[in-house]
Amino acid sequence: RYDVLIVGAGHGGAQAALALRQHKYAGSVALLGDEPDPPYERPPLSKEYFSGEKSFERILIRPQAIWAERDIELQLLRRVVAVDPAEQNVVLSDGSRIGYGKLIWATGGAPRRLSCSGSDLMGVHNVRTRADADRMLAETPKVQNVVVIGGGYIGLEAAAVLAKLGKQVTVLEAMDRVLARVAGEPLSRFYEAEHRAHGVEIHLNAKMDCLIGHDGWVTGVRMSDGSVLPADMVVVGIGIVPAVEPLIAAGAASGNGVEVDEFCQTSLPNIYAIGDCAIHANPFAGGQRIRLESVQNANDQAITAARHIAGDAAPYHAVPWFWSNQYDLKLQTIGLSLGYDEVVVRGQSAARSFTLVYLSKGKVLALDCVNSVKDYVQGKALVITQATPDKSVLANPEIPIKSLLV
Ligand code: FAD
């Protein structure tokens, strides 16, 4: 039995364990994960790790020795399959049980799979774990035609790396623009143009039928009009399914994830949930209940849960931020653009350094900053204060954002 048992040794789980100790929590802490590796950063899997710029050691969340130093019992290759809130224990895949005083559920999600035929062919990849990235890396030298299914951040980042490696890359996006779920149209059009300029084909409103193969390996993607795109590698980036089945089976309030309050407590006693799997009321989404898939959210919710357990509670109120690297473009996002009714563009996208400011009823909700670190740093205050700047001034990149703050 541990005083705190953390399930999931990814971004949120690792941060929760460290935050407990930072907040002087003295009880026993175990961090359980089902992967073979100690906690590592996931974002580089479609960026610097996939491109070979960073080794695995460089993407570890903390040096290996820290877990023992902080008296955190790290247990790898341990998968929790059931939770018993009445008995306060979890059941592992080998049938053994571990008791807990408090449980922190930090399991992220599993990549959403294609439902069509051919999705289990070799050469078809998801990008969620180090093992996924390593499998792709091992095959990359042998492939020429790659189809990326899904024009979200992960798909586009993988496309950028593969294009730089000289592969013929095609991105299939079901909607009428890439990044449609997360960004305004000017940003989508900018990234579509950038990818095309790097030789990537982008098919919008794409309707695929199935994957086809030969000898167990993928050879192409059949579209609904019968045409076939040749592919010796397919990368699927169509989102995740939150890994919350054991909590739901135990009776936790849930939807597309598990419901938590402002301290990351689930509806089950002594059980918290954090990160990609947690549905919460986000103050920067006007209090809407959402799941956020970002390192920021995983880390900050980890701190919220840890503080609550350590007796130093503070409700979750962190400003959302996110980033994406494609080619030489560094996108940094602050705030959440959900529900915007206007987008102001600062600067020229042709200059490859510009900012999109999202507003609702004149109030700033969020900024997407492309190669524009200053706007990102200064824009945070606009988001926090829900500033209502003069739009013609806001659109002028010569006028620093900080001068708009009163
Ligand atoms: P995870 O980090 O996924 O950790 C969950 C862990 O729990 C995993 O190791 C999982 O295997 C394990 N687990 C699951 N079920 C069980 C079980 N039953 N028992 C035991 N262990 C279990 N975010 C950004 O902010 N910026 C980016 O640029 C960015 N790029 C990304 C690129 C890629 C390729 C990916 C995959 C994600 C990216 N993200 C990015 C998202 C970010 O990585 C996630 O939001 C973050 O990892 C969420 O942390 P988490 O702790 O909720 O889940």
pLDDT tens-digit series, residues 355-387: 999 999 999 999 999 999 999 999 999 999 999
Tell me the average pLDDT across 14-22. 98
Give the separation between CA 185 and CA 193, rounded to whole angstroms: 12
Give the separation between CA 208 and CA 195, rounded to whole angstroms: 21
203 to 63, 126, 150: CA distances (angstroms)? 42, 20, 10
Tell me the average pLDDT across 272-300. 97
Q: Is 298 in the pocket of ligand 1 (CB under 6 A)?
A: yes
pLDDT at 406 over 80: no
Q: How far is CA 193 from the centre of its chain?
A: 24
Distance 265 CA to ligand 1 centre (A): 20
Tell me the average pLDDT across 287-304. 97
pLDDT value, residue 357: 98
Partners of 241 in the β-ladder: 110
Coil vs helix vs strand at 251: coil
pTM above 0.90, yes or no: yes
pLDDT value, residue 27: 98
Partners of 165 in the β-ladder: none
Distance 164 CA to ligand 1 centre (A): 26
Q: Tell me the pLDDT tens digit for each residue of 67-107.
A: 999 999 999 999 999 999 999 999 999 999 999 999 999 99
Contact 329, 187 (CB under 8 A): no
pLDDT value, residue 405: 82
Residue 235 identity = V
Q: Is 347 in the pocket of ligand 1 (CB under 6 A)?
A: no
Q: Choose which residue among 294, 321, 326, 331 to substitute to test ligand 1 binding: the one with the highest number of ligand atoms within 8 A of its C-beta.
A: 294
Q: Is 299 in the pocket of ligand 1 (CB under 6 A)?
A: no
Q: Tell me the pLDDT tens digit for each residue of 205-232.
A: 999 999 999 999 999 999 999 999 999 9
Q: Is 276 in the pocket of ligand 1 (CB under 6 A)?
A: yes
Q: Is 292 in the pocket of ligand 1 (CB under 6 A)?
A: no
| Residue with token string 């689930």 | 266
Contact 114, 211 (CB under 8 A): yes
Q: Is 8 in the pocket of ligand 1 (CB under 6 A)?
A: yes
Q: Is 42 in the pocket of ligand 1 (CB under 6 A)?
A: yes
Helical H runs in 41-82?
66-69
Distance 398 CA to ligand 1 centre (A): 39
Both tokens assigned to 168: 């013929």
pLDDT value, residue 270: 98
pLDDT value, residue 287: 84
Give the separation between CA 377 and CA 109, rounded to whole angstroms: 30
Q: Is 43 in the pocket of ligand 1 (CB under 6 A)?
A: yes
Tell me the average pLDDT across 295-312. 98
pLDDT value, residue 123: 98
Nearest CA to ligand 1 atom 41: 294
For 195, which DSSP code? Answer: H
Average pLDDT along the chain: 97
Nearest CA to ligand 1 atom 30: 43
Q: Is 48 in the pocket of ligand 1 (CB under 6 A)?
A: no
pLDDT value, residue 255: 95
Backbone angles phi, psi at 323, to 5 degrees: -145, 165
Q: Is 150 in the pocket of ligand 1 (CB under 6 A)?
A: no
Distance 61 CA to ligand 1 centre (A): 12
Q: Which atom of ligand 1 is nearest to the CA of 240?
A: 36
Partners of 273 in the β-ladder: 105
Coil vs helix vs strand at 382: helix
For 140, which DSSP code? Answer: G
Q: Tell me the pLDDT tens digit for each residue of 181-208.
A: 999 999 999 999 999 999 999 999 999 9
Both tokens assigned to 102: 């408090």
Tell me the average pLDDT across 279-292. 95
Give the separation between CA 5 and CA 105, rounded to whole angstroms: 9
Q: Is 397 in the pocket of ligand 1 (CB under 6 A)?
A: no
ipTM: 0.99
Contact 21, 119 (CB under 8 A): no
Nearest CA to ligand 1 atom 9: 10
Nearest CA to ligand 1 atom 43: 42
The pLDDT confidence band at residue 286, using thresholds 50, 70 and 90, is confident
CA atoms within 13 A on the CB side of 150: 22
Contact 267, 179 (CB under 8 A): no
Starting at the earlier edge strand, list the strands of the sheet with 168-172: 124-126, 233-236, 145-149, 168-172, 201-203
Residue 52 identity = G
Q: Is 41 in the pocket of ligand 1 (CB under 6 A)?
A: no
Print burial letters for 389-406: b (CB count within 10 Å at least 16), e (below 16): beeeebeebeeebeebee
Both tokens assigned to 172: 């299939």
Give the separation between CA 401 and CA 390, rounded to whole angstroms: 11
Contact 330, 323 (CB under 8 A): yes
pLDDT at 56 over 80: yes
Q: Choose which residue among 291, 295, 333 to substitute to test ligand 1 binding: the one with the highest number of ligand atoms within 8 A of its C-beta.
A: 295
Q: Is 154 in the pocket of ligand 1 (CB under 6 A)?
A: yes
Give the separation between CA 105 and CA 82, rounded to whole angstroms: 12
Q: Tell me the pLDDT tens digit for each residue of 249-284.
A: 999 999 999 999 999 999 999 999 999 999 999 999
Contact 51, 2 (CB under 8 A): no
Angle between helices 185-197 and 153-164 (to 10 degrees): 20
Tell me the average pLDDT across 104-112. 98
Give the separation between CA 74 and CA 69, rounded to whole angstroms: 11
